[in-house]
Amino acid sequence: MGKKLYIETLGCAMNVRDSEHIIAELKTKESYDLTEDINEADLILINTCSVREKPVHKLFSEIGHFNKIKKKDAKIGVCGCTASHLGEEIIKRAPYVSFVLGARNVSKITEVLHKEKAVEIDIDYDESTYAFSDFRSSPYKAYINISIGCDKQCTFCIVPSTRGEEISIPSELIINEARRAAQSGAKEIFLLGQNVNNYGRRFSSGDEKINFTELLRRVSQIEGIERIRFTSPHPLHMDDEFLEEFASNPKICKSMHMPLQSGSTEILRRMKRGYTKEWFLNRAFKLREMVPDVHISTDIIVGFPGENDKDFEDTLDVVKKVKFEQIFSFKYSPRPLTPAKDYEDQVPQEIASERLSLLQEMHKEMLDDIAKKQKGKVFNVYFEELKPGGYVAGRSDNNFIIKVKGSEELLGEFRDVKITKPGRLSLEGEVIA
C-alpha cells in the first residue's frame, strides 16, 4: 500500500497552486497518494495564510486537533505564509509538528520530509525556474504561476515578508507549461501572481524581458486554449495598452479583479497604494466603456488606521459608482512586520464592524439588482463541476457562476445557457445550444 497524503489549503489562489506543486512532488518522488480521510493519512499538511490574524489563531487549534486524531506514526507539516512568518515558533508551540515549510520554499518539500524538525523559510530563496512535477486538481483549467513574491510595500500587508522579493518566471517556461496543460485537455488557463500586471519587473537570469500584455498575447496564441484568466492585477499598472489588450483579445475572459482597498485618496496614500480615488475611477470607467459586459471584482479594507467617516464615505462612493459585481471586504487586521500596525490612530473594532456591515448591506442590494438584469440573457458557459441535486456548474466568460440541470457529459464543454432563475450567488439556466 502506498503512503497517503492529506492536505488542507487556506488562503489565495497562489496557495492552491503551491499545494498542487507539493502534491506533485510527493506523488512523483515519494509515492504518496491523496486522501480525503485524515484518519488514514501518513502525512498531514496544512498550507496556511497569514494575511489576517484570525486564520493564524485557528492554525494552532487545527493542528492540535490533527495531532489527536492522526494515525500513530503520521507526520504533520505546516506550509505556506504562516510557516514563513512564524517559522520555528510553530514547533516550539506545537512540538508534534515534524517540519515547517515557507511559502517560498515549496520545492524543498521532499527534503524537509526526511529531516526531523526541519524549518525552511528563507524568503530570499529563488524557485522561479524550478521545474515542479505536474499535478492539477482540475482537468478543465490550469493554474500557472507567472511570478513569485511581491515588491509592493502596502503598509497593511504581510505578504512581502512571507513571499519575499518579486521575481518573474521566464516566459518560455510559462508558455511551455500552458502548452502542456492545453495538450492534456485544459481549455482554460489561470495566470497567477501577487501582482500579475507588473510581470517582467525582474528575472533571476538573462531571460527575454516581456511585459504582462505581451505575455497575454503569447499565451492566447497557444492552440487549444480558449480562455485566459489572471489574478491579481494592481490598479496602478492598468495602463491603456493593457486595457486595450484585455478588451480586444477574445480569449481573455472579461472579468477583472481591481483591488480598491479604500476609496479615500488620503487612506490610499497611507496604505502606499500608489494611486488616487480619481485614478481608480478613471480606470474602472474606461474598462466599463471598453468592455460593456465586464465583471469587476474588488477587495476592500474598512477601518484602516486613520479612516474617518468622510474616508469611508469615499469608499462607498466608489462602490456606488463602479457597481462591482463582487466585493471581498475585510476589517483591517494589524499584522506583524507591517508599518500600519504601529500607526497611532487605530480605528475601534465597533466602528470597523459597523462600516463592514454597512458596506456589505449596500452591496447586497446592488447584487440583487445585477442578478435580476441577467434574466433571459444568454451566456457561453464552460462547465467544470458537478453540484448536488443533479446540477452542473461552470462560469460565463465574465465570471458569473451558472448552473443547469445535467450530468458528467457537460464537464469540460462549452454551451450557451439562457438564464431562467437569477440569484445573488449563482444564476440558474437552461442549455439552448
Q: If binding is defined by CB under 6 A, does position 280 make contact with ligand 5AD? A: no
Any contact of residue 273 with ligand 5AD (CB under 6 A)?
no
d(Cα 33, Cα 3) in Å, to the nearest integer? 6
Which one of ligand 5AD, ligand SF4, none is in contact with 330 (Cβ closer than 5 to 8 A by kind)? ligand 5AD
CA proximity to 140, closest of 249, 10, 58, 229: 229
* CA atoms lying within 13 Å on the CB side of residue 163: 28
By CB under 6 A, is residue 299 in contact with ligand 5AD?
A: yes
Q: Which does 335 bind (CB under 5 to 8 A by kind): ligand SF4, ligand 5AD, none?
A: ligand 5AD
Grid coordinates given for 20: 498542487
Q: DSSP letters of 256-320?
A: EE---B-S-HHHHHHHT-S--HHHHHHHHHHHHHH-TT-EEEEEEEES-TT--HHHHHHHHHHHH
Task: Decide if residue 19 touches ligand SF4 (CB under 6 A).
Answer: no
The answer to the question of residue 11 lying near ligand SF4 (CB under 6 A) is yes
> What single-letter amino acid sits at 48?
T
Span near ligand SF4 by CB under 6 A; candidates 19-27, 45-53, 134-142, 290-298: 45-53
CB of residue 246 to ligand SF4, shortest distance in Å: 23
| Cα atoms found within 13 Å of the Cα of residue 110, Cβ hemisphere only | 14
Residue of the chain from 199, 332, 379, 400 that contacts ligand 5AD (CB under 6 A) = 332
Does position 51 interact with ligand SF4 (CB under 6 A)? The reply is yes
329 binds ligand SF4 (CB under 6 A): no
Q: How far is the CB of 314 from ligand 5AD (least distance, A)?
A: 16
Decide: 261 and 271 in contact? Cβ < 8 Å: yes
Identify residues 70-89 at the interface with ligand SF4 (CB under 6 A).
80-81
* Residue 169, helix vs strand vs coil: coil
Residue closer to ligand 5AD by CB (options 253, 260) is 260
Question: How many residues line the site for ligand 5AD (CB under 6 A)?
Answer: 12
List phi, psi (to 5°) of 23: -60, -45
What character string, x for contact with ligand SF4 (CB under 6 A) and - otherwise, covers 103-142?
Answer: x---------------------------------------
56: exposed, middle or buried (Cβ count in 10 Å: 0-12, 13-18, 19+): buried
Q: How far apart are CA 54 and CA 46, in angstroms?
A: 15
**In the complex, least distance from residue 58 CB atom to ligand 5AD, rounded to whole angstroms:** 16
Phi (first) and psi of residue 96, to 5 degrees: -80, -5
CA distances in angstroms from 267 to 301, 312, 316, 357, listed in the order given: 10, 9, 14, 20
CB 397 within 8 A of CB 255: yes
Chosen residue from 32, 132, 156, 280 binding ligand 5AD by CB under 6 A:
156
Binding flag, residue 210, ligand SF4 (CB under 6 A): no
Smallest distance, Å, CB 153 to ligand 5AD?
A: 12
Cα gap 368→423, rounded to integer Å: 7
Residues contacting residue 356 through CB under 8 Å, at least 6 positions apart: 302, 303, 329, 330, 331
| Chain position carrying cell 463592514 | 356
- For ligand SF4, the binding residue among 98, 162, 195, 255 (CB under 6 A) is 162
Candidates 232, 288, 223; CA nearest to 251 is 223
Tell me which residues in 89-128 interact with ligand 5AD (CB under 6 A).
Answer: none
Which of 108, 277, 335, 415 is in the footprint of ligand 5AD by CB under 6 A?
335
Distance CA 226, CA 180 (A): 14
Contact status: 12 vs ligand SF4 (CB under 6 A): yes
- State the number of binding residues for ligand SF4 (CB under 6 A): 13
Task: Provide, rounded to whole angstroms, the least separation between the CB of residue 89 and ligand 5AD.
Answer: 19
Q: Residue 141 interacts with ligand 5AD (CB under 6 A)?
A: no
Quote the cell numbers at residue 336: 506583524
x/- binding map, residues 224-263, to ligand 5AD, per CB under 6 A?
-----------------------------------x-x--
C-alpha cell at 62: 487545527
* 273/415 with CB nearer ligand 5AD: 273
Distance CA 380, CA 313 (A): 37
Return the number of the residue (225 or 356) whose C-beta is nearest ligand 5AD.
356
CA neighbours within 13 Å on the CB side: how many for 218? 17
Residue 51 found at the interface with ligand 5AD (CB under 6 A): yes
| 14: partner contacted, choices ligand 5AD, ligand SF4, none (Cβ within 5-8 A by kind) | ligand SF4
Of 5, 7, 14, 154, the one binding ligand SF4 (CB under 6 A) is 14
Contact residues toward ligand SF4 (CB under 6 A) are 11-12, 14-15, 49-51, 80-81, 103, 159, 162-163
